[in-house]
Amino acid sequence: MNINEAIATLKENGHKYTDKRRDMIALLQDSNKYINAKMIQQEMNKKYPGISFDTVYRNLHLFTELNIIESTEFDGEKKFRLSCSTHHHHHFICESCGETQVVHHCPIDIFQTELPDVEIKRHKIELYGICEKCKK
Ligand SMILES: [Zn+2]
Ligand SMILES: [Zn+2]
Ligand SMILES: [Zn+2]
């Protein structure tokens, strides 16, 4: 997902394309890692003084519904990033700098084998550790 794809997705779904929304998507794209709503609000506030949390949250909610962004919860708070792939994937998240890397392998078959009689409907797998850069 990049800015142009995100804007196209907004339009296709009948949502207004505004400078605020574009700037928010650009901010998420540039950070390339999970960031919280407070950070987004603070950054947006530089260009749009007085922008409310409510506006930021409403847009984050909309972007999540349209699969423009992905959200997760760690360190006790909800965080957001631009969707990295429309295919099923997982993330490695660096606990030091917050950078994420995509993992395409999905081990869900192993769990299904161990629990043959249940129907697994959803799952959430995240890998945490220290990235190459932070290891140095
Ligand atoms: Zn992702
Ligand atoms: Zn790192
Ligand atoms: Zn999976």
Options 1.10.12.10, 1.10.10.10, 3.40.50.300, 3.40.50.170; CATH of 3-82: 1.10.10.10
pLDDT, one tens digit per residue, over 48-63 is 999 999 999 999 999 9
| Those residues with Cβ within 8 angstroms of residue 58's Cβ, 6 or more apart along the chain or in another chain | none
For residue 103, the CA-to-ligand 1 centroid distance in Å is 9
Which of the ligands is closest to the CA of residue 87? 1
Burial of 70 (0-12, 13-18, 19+ CB in 10 A): buried
Domain with CATH 3.30.1490.190 in the chain: 90-135
Percent of the chain clearing pLDDT 90 (strictly above): 85
For residue 85, the CA-to-ligand 1 centroid distance in Å is 6
pLDDT, one tens digit per residue, over 16-36 is 999 999 999 999 999 878 999
Ion ligand 2 — residues with CB under 5 Å? Answer: 94, 96-97, 99, 131, 134
Cα separation, 124 vs 29, in Å, equals 23
Superfamily (CATH H level) for 90-135: Ferric-uptake regulator, C-terminal dimerisarion domain (3.30.1490.190)
